[in-house]
Amino acid sequence: MGRWKPDGGLSLAYVVVLLLMGCYAGETVSEGSGGGAWRGEEVPPDHVLPPPDPGVLHSSLLIEGETATLTARDMPEGSVVVFAMSTVGPGTTCPAELGGDCVDLAGPVLPLGVAVADLTGVARHTFTVPEPPRLSTLAVQAVTLGTPNTISDMIELPIYTTATAPGPSCDIADLDLQWPLPGDDASDWVTNMYVDLDRQVGATMDYTGGSRTYDGHYGVDIDAPTFRDMDDETLPILAAASGTVIATEEGEFDRNTSCESYDWNYVWIEYDNGFNAWYGHLKQDSVTVLPGDTVVAGQQIGVIGSSGCSTAPHLHYELWDCDWYNIDPFLDELWSLPPIYDTELGLLEGMTRIGGFATWEDLVDPGDDMISAPTSSLAGVGMSMAGGTSGDVITLQVRRPDETLWVDWDNELTAAYRHHFWYWNFYHDLNQGTWTANIDIDGETVWSSSWEVD
Ligand SMILES: [Zn+2]
């Protein structure tokens, strides 16, 4: 390819993103001008534990003040151990060979963290003891990943009671949820994946009967436009209802572009009615509350991020009732102002880049917009889009300093999308001065940007 093309024409490529529970699956497909296809692939859920096989691991719990250390032993070096927490149910049965230390679980297993067994076969995880918990009894456990999976003997935490406080109502009618992000649908964020209401393995269904979920997804995924929103902290996470903070984590790396780590930053809040919510994937060091804090609806608790199994910044919001049954806030109409399911096409973010866009990472993590560029240089305009369906038209126009059109690209959608990225690369010609780009949706300009060519 030459240094520039006199007709302004160009390399088109685009990326379609499937955000799966927190996990993006994005595939870049580069084509010649006007061509294209999209591919996506499913990725594993971000914190679903493998099925347990009772019996093998040995673990212990040490509580010192507010700090608890869970230790798993007797594992092959390098074993990956998932530490998790659950509630203890009634009617506990304890096989004699486990010395009476085992318990039955009443609720789902919720993740605390992950560690790798050292040379001595030991893995440890330290966490803050929930306080003041209304969860009357908790169990913690360690589970190794791999086949066969093993599960530790589960250890009962000391029982915390709320003898001096009235118990929560546990009535769903006492819960109203505010949207946990500021701003507007399809402009500042977009809902990408919903709760999987079909609990059969291999089957999925969202609250409309549709397929915007994936197997075993217990939460709602709300996407940020790009990593800029994490870096600039433009999307604080807000408590959806008032309650008490049970546990938090904020020390985990937040720029995952893979699903290799399950260690995420989160805030766990028990709402005033006794329901429990997890706000996950938060930005590192962004959590603004501590265990034991009371929060009010709308209060900032962190910043959107991409920690844990996540390849782009988004919030995973997960809700459980007092008996640890998973709740879909859309199905139960708990949101005071729910975003609509069939999101209208909107621009989340426009971006320009000297050198053009070439990879998924370029689009989801674009850095700053182009301010200046040399003549004849390669550049690109990218866009993070929400919603839309067949027949919607995205138009990109780039104009030279004399306002003549250099790029005029109509992109008519041929399918419905949730969160999708597009870009167009082009070469500047020899014209110096202020170049401009604008993006139109169905004929209305929604974004423009300019830069100097010299
Ligand atoms: Zn999710």
List, for residues 136-178, the tens digit of each pLDDT value. Answer: 345 555 555 543 444 443 443 333 322 334 578 999 999 999 9
- Counting beta carbons within 10 angstroms of the beta carbon of residue 164, is it exposed (0 to 12), middle (13 to 18) or buried (19 or more)? exposed
377: CA distance to ligand 1 center in Å? 40
Q: Which of 107-111, 321-325, 357-361, 446-450 has the lowest mean pLDDT?
A: 107-111
39 C-alpha to ligand 1 centroid (Å) = 21
Residue, of 115 and 130, whose pLDDT is higher: 115
| Tokens 């996407």 belong to residue | 223
Residue 264 has a pLDDT of 93
Query: Which amino acid does the sequence have at 438?
Result: N
Q: What tokens were used for 177?
A: 């949820």
Q: How far is the CA of 222 from the centre of ligand 1 (A)?
A: 8
Distance 46 CA to ligand 1 centre (A): 7
Write out the two tokens for 218. 């217990």
Say whether pLDDT at 427 is over 90. Answer: yes
Distance 11 CA to ligand 1 centre (A): 34
Ligand 1 centre to CA of 316 (Å) is: 4
Long-range residue pairs from 51-55, CB within 8 A, at least 24 positions apart, any chain: 51/149, 52/143, 52/149, 52/150, 52/151, 53/148, 53/149, 53/150, 53/151, 54/151, 55/98, 55/150, 55/151, 55/153
pLDDT of residue 324: 86
Span from the CA of 223 to the centroid of ligand 1 (angstroms): 10
Q: List, as one string, the DSSP characters of 197-262.
A: ---STT----TTSS--S-TT--EEEEE-SSTHHHHTT-SEEE-SS-EEEEEEE--S--B-SBS---
386-418 burial, b for 16+ CB within 10 Å, e for fewer?
bbbeeebebbbbbbbeeeeebbebebebeeebb
Confidence of residue 208 (pLDDT cuts 50, 70, 90): very high
| Rounded distance from Cα 255 to ligand 1 centre (Å) | 16
Which residue reads 């572009």 in tokens?
257
CA of 257 to the centre of ligand 1 (A): 15
Give the distance (Å) from ligand 1 centre to CA of residue 394: 28
Mean pLDDT computed over every residue of the chain? 77
As a whole number of angstroms, the distance between CA 30 and CA 13 comes to 5
The rounded distance, in Å, linking the Cα atoms of 398 and 375 is 15
Question: How many of the other CB atoms lie within 10 Å of CB of 310?
Answer: 28
Q: Which two tokens stand for residue 375?
A: 């003549």
CATH number, span 58-156: 2.60.40
Ligand 1 center to residue 422 CA distance, Å?
Answer: 23
Return the residue matching tokens 């070469």: 427
Is the confidence at residue 25, as pLDDT, over 60?
A: no
User: Residue 129: is its pLDDT beyond 90?
Assistant: no
Tell me, what DSSP letter sits at residue 168?
P
Identity of the highest mean pLDDT range in 125-134, 148-157, 254-263, 364-373: 364-373
User: What band does 312 get if pLDDT is binned at 50, 70 and 90?
Assistant: very high
Query: Do the strands 378-386 and 110-116 form a parallel or antiparallel pair, or are they unpaired?
Result: unpaired
Q: What pLDDT is stored for residue 14 in this prediction? A: 34
Which of these, 263, 276, 382, 294, lies nearest to 17 by C-alpha position?
382
Q: What is the pLDDT averaged over residues 294-313? A: 95
222-237 residue pLDDT tens: 999 999 999 999 999 9
Could you tell me how far CA 334 lies from the centroid of its own chain?
20
Closest CA to 387 of 350, 345, 415: 345
Report CA(195)–ligand 1 centroid distance (Å): 8
Distance 315 CA to ligand 1 centre (A): 7
- State CA 361 to chain mean position distance: 16
Q: How confident is the model at residue 108 (pLDDT cuts 50, 70, 90)?
A: low
Looking at residue 107, its pLDDT comes to 57
CA of 314 to the centre of ligand 1 (A): 8
Q: Confirm or reject CATH 2.60.40.1930 for domain 11-43+343-453, answering yes or no.
A: yes
pLDDT of the residue at 197: 95
Most confident of 23-27, 45-49, 389-393: 389-393
| pLDDT at site 11 | 33
Positive or negative: CA dihedral 225, 227, 228, 232: positive
The two three-digit tokens of residue 134, written as one number: 């209304």
Report how far residue 362's alpha carbon sits from residue 356's, in angstroms, rounded to the nearest whole number. 9
Bridge partners (DSSP) of residue 453 are: 373, 433
Kindly give the distance from the C-alpha atom of residue 21 to the centroid of ligand 1, in angstroms, as a whole number. Answer: 3
Contacts of 299 (CB under 8 A, 6+ apart): 238, 239, 289
Domain spanning 168-335: which superfamily?
A: Glucose Permease (Domain IIA) (2.70.70.10)
Given the structure tokens 């200046």, which residue do they identify? Answer: 372
Cβ 189 vs Cβ 162: under 8 Å: no
Strand order in the sheet with 110-116: 110-116, 80-87, 138-144, 155-156
From the CA of 207, how far away is ligand 1's center (Å)? Answer: 15
Spacing, Cα 22 to ligand 1 middle (Å)? 4
**Is residue 409 left, alpha or beta, with left meaning phi > 0 and alpha meaning psi from -120 to 50?**
beta
3-state secondary structure 247-265: EEECCCCCECCECCCCCCC
Q: How many CB atoms lie within 10 A of CB 285?
A: 13
Beta bridge partners of 61: 70
Q: If you measure from the C-alpha of residue 193 to the centroid of ligand 1, how many angstroms do you get, rounded to a whole number?
A: 7
From the CA of 313, how far away is ligand 1's center (Å)?
11
Domain 11-43+343-453 and domain 58-156, same fold? Reply is yes
Give residues with Cβ within 8 angstroms of 40, minimum separation 6: 16, 17, 18, 25, 26, 27
Say if CB 59 and CB 72 are below 8 A apart: yes
**211's torsion region: left (phi>0), alpha (psi -120 to 50) or beta?**
alpha
Between the CA of 413 and the centroid of ligand 1 the distance, in Å, is 26
Centroid of ligand 1 to alpha carbon of 20 (angstroms): 7
Rounded distance from Cα 19 to ligand 1 centre (Å): 9
Segments making up each domain of the chain, as ranges: 11-43+343-453, 58-156, 168-335
Q: pLDDT of 187-202, one tens digit each?
A: 999 999 999 999 888 8
pLDDT of residue 155: 41
Model pLDDT, residue 125 = 81
Quickly state the pLDDT bin for 113 (edges 50, 70, 90): confident
